[in-house]
Amino acid sequence: MSDAEFTGYDPAFENRERLYTACIDYDFSKFCCSGEIPETRGIMDLMTREDQFRMKSCAGFGVTHAAQVAWWLATGDFREFNGHWSYICGQRIDGRRSDSGNSIGGAVEGAKTFGLLVQDVQNDGSLEHPYRDNYRLKYSAEATAIAATRKVRYSARVPGWDGKLKFLQSGQGGIVTGGSWGNWRPDAQGICRKFRASPRGPFHARAYVDWITIAGEVFLVEANSHGKGWGKNGFSFHSREFIEAQDQDRAFVAVGISDISLGPGDTPTQRARHRFVRLV
């Protein structure tokens, strides 16, 4: 199967002004941690690697992967969210129909407006709302009500290596990304060091969900939506060099999402943020 059959993020359709206007403008590169930072947070041991199949739902998966991290950090309860639901909600924001993909901005705004649908509501291994591998629009009123209880509260621009790493390490959540796809691949260890843009596409959405230290070097952990057979069990590890080159690609966007609404009170995510201070 070719890369083109997986593409679902169209940078020509991305409304950058709408996307970034809705983002909080923090400089996460100027944050530092007052405590010891572990070699990895361990999200890879929790996250299921689903496959989007032929559906152009990569932006929906990118948002759900990032939101799963945010929800887990805020509640201590890891849940898998439905990538198809987030895809359809993003299309409602974008005003699109048919299996034609959607924008990163639409997917993020959809998660803020309509929320995220839990696949295993009872958390007992049975999927009441599994990912759909075909384009059907209707969900039940029950599913809609469940999703409405898990809305993303804010999004933030996270440019650069330092910004992305500090966003992840500060306990904010995950980062949904989109950009050129097809001219780079992870090696046998899952590591990506050399980024080469493909200006004419295909384009693909993913998410940064964690960091990992390999032989003393720190990498960002990317969750993909091509199943466990891609990369290292469905993940890849991006070096500083790769991240900095990728950021120069005009098609690339990166938006951190966090603070899924839990109502009033001090959540673990909020407490984690208090451990970080701005560097003067």
- Which pLDDT belongs to residue 183? 76
Tens of pLDDT, residue by residue over 105-140, are 999 999 999 999 999 999 999 999 999 988 887 899
Tens of pLDDT, residue by residue over 141-157, are 999 999 999 999 889 99
- Which pLDDT belongs to residue 73? 86
As averages over each run of 10 residues, the pLDDT of the chain (280 residues) reads 54 86 85 78 92 93 96 88 96 91 94 96 93 88 95 92 92 92 87 88 93 96 94 96 94 88 56 52
Sheet containing strand 23-24, edge to edge, reads 23-24, 154-157, 253-258, 173-180, 203-214, 217-223, 235-238, 191-192
Per the CB < 8 A criterion, the answer to whether 63 and 257 are in contact is: yes
Q: Given phi > 0 = left and psi -120 to 50 = alpha, else beta, which region is 187?
A: beta
Residue 98 belongs to domain with CATH number: 3.90.70.10
- Which pLDDT belongs to residue 1? 34
Q: Which residues pair with 219 in a beta bridge?
A: 212
| Dist CA 87 CA 191 (whole Å) | 28
How many whole angstroms from its chain centre is CA 262?
Answer: 20
- Which pLDDT belongs to residue 4? 41
- Which pLDDT belongs to residue 5? 42
- Which pLDDT belongs to residue 6? 44
- Which pLDDT belongs to residue 2? 40
pTM score: 0.92
Nearest Cα neighbor of 152 from 223, 62, 27, 91 is 62
> Could you tell me which residues come within 8 angstroms of residue 163 by beta carbon, excluding any fewer than 6 positions away?
27, 28, 29, 157
Q: Domain range for residue 78?
A: 3-278
- Which pLDDT belongs to residue 188? 93
- Which pLDDT belongs to residue 45? 95
- Which pLDDT belongs to residue 243? 97
- Which pLDDT belongs to residue 276? 53
> Could you tell me which residues come within 8 angstroms of residue 10 by beta carbon, excluding any fewer than 6 positions away?
101, 103, 203
Contacts 24+ apart (CB under 8 A), 121-126: 121/146, 123/77, 123/79
- Which pLDDT belongs to residue 110? 96
Tens of pLDDT, residue by residue over 83-106, are 999 999 999 999 998 998 999 999
Number of structural domains found in the chain: 1
